[in-house]
Amino acid sequence: MDPSLYPRMAAVEDAHWWFAARRAIVGRLLDRLELAPDAAILEPGCGTGGNFPMLARRGRLFAMDNDPAALRFAAARGLAELAEGALPDQIPFDGVRFDLAVMTDVLEHLDDPAGALRALHARLKPGGALLITVPAGPWMWSDHDLTHHHRRRFRAAELNALLGAGGFAIAYLSHYNFVLFPLIAGARILQRLRPGASSTPRHDLAMPPAPLNRALRAVFASERLLIGSVRVPFGVSLIALARAVPGPAPAAAGNA
């Protein structure tokens, strides 16, 4: 992500409808895991730490990011053991095997998503859980993706294949942010059609007026009542819950 956006993200992510509703959905799915109180939890690509309150109450939280500026904001929360690191080759916290890894909108930033998933598999306990969210639909590519330094948006079949190749058995995979999908997709298409759009990328981290923010949060967060039970074939993003299959992850093509 553009480093200049970290202060803005830190300022809004606790209350902004999109972040708050995503945490509600992710939290409901994590409730199904019945983690032990001392579970070791890893958040790679933690950014400014918006997920920390949700994750820290579920176990001992370890978090990493490759940007020192983001880590400074995350450290201010005082809820996680932090270290600079990057996927796939620089995972810190030597000697710790994790019960859970959570990556919310991280995989799309990486040059080697398959290698990142194999690396996480190696650091999870056998049967350990991975919860991951990514932006969906390559056709929805827009200014938002450019500003946030995304490499790609994913199809469901592509994410399914990557997780399987990374050594994970998928328990659940679905689109989400589907209620607001028509509005968001329409806005992204209009952005792309706007003259000069590709040369003037814009973020969407502005805080809406309070009444609108509350309404959007309530609408989006209501999906937590279905996510985990129903697989939805459309939406702005994808969410998956998977388990690390015991044994090494399959070797990358050409490296077997």
Model pLDDT for residues 208-231, shown as the tens digit of each residue: 999 999 999 999 999 999 999 999
- The percentage of residues in the chain with a pLDDT greater than 90, rounded to a whole number, is 79
Burial class (CB in 10 A: 0-12, 13-18, 19+), 239: buried
Q: What is the pTM of this model?
A: 0.92
Q: What is the pLDDT of residues 136-153, one digit of tens each?
A: 999 988 777 888 789 999
In the sheet with 98-104, reading across from the earlier edge strand, the strands are 81-84, 60-65, 40-44, 98-104, 124-135, 237-244, 168-176
pLDDT band at 196 (very low <50, low <70, confident <90, very high): low
**CA–CA distance from 46 to each of 56, 63, 203, 242 (Å)?**
13, 6, 19, 19
Residue 116, C-beta contacts closer than 8 angstroms, at least 6 positions apart: 44, 87, 88, 107, 110
Whether the CA torsion 162, 145, 43, 32 is positive or negative: it is negative
The domain ranges of the chain are 3-243
Q: Is the pLDDT of residue 252 over 70?
A: no
The C-alpha atoms of residue 154 and residue 125 are separated, in whole angstroms, by 27
Segment among 66-75, 190-199, 237-246 with least mean pLDDT: 190-199
Q: Look up the CATH superfamily of 3-243.
A: Vaccinia Virus protein VP39 (3.40.50.150)
Q: What is the pLDDT of residues 77-134, one digit of tens each?
A: 999 999 999 999 999 999 999 999 999 999 999 999 999 999 999 999 999 999 999 9
- As beta bridge partners, residue 65 has 84
What DSSP element (H or E) covers 62? strand 60-65
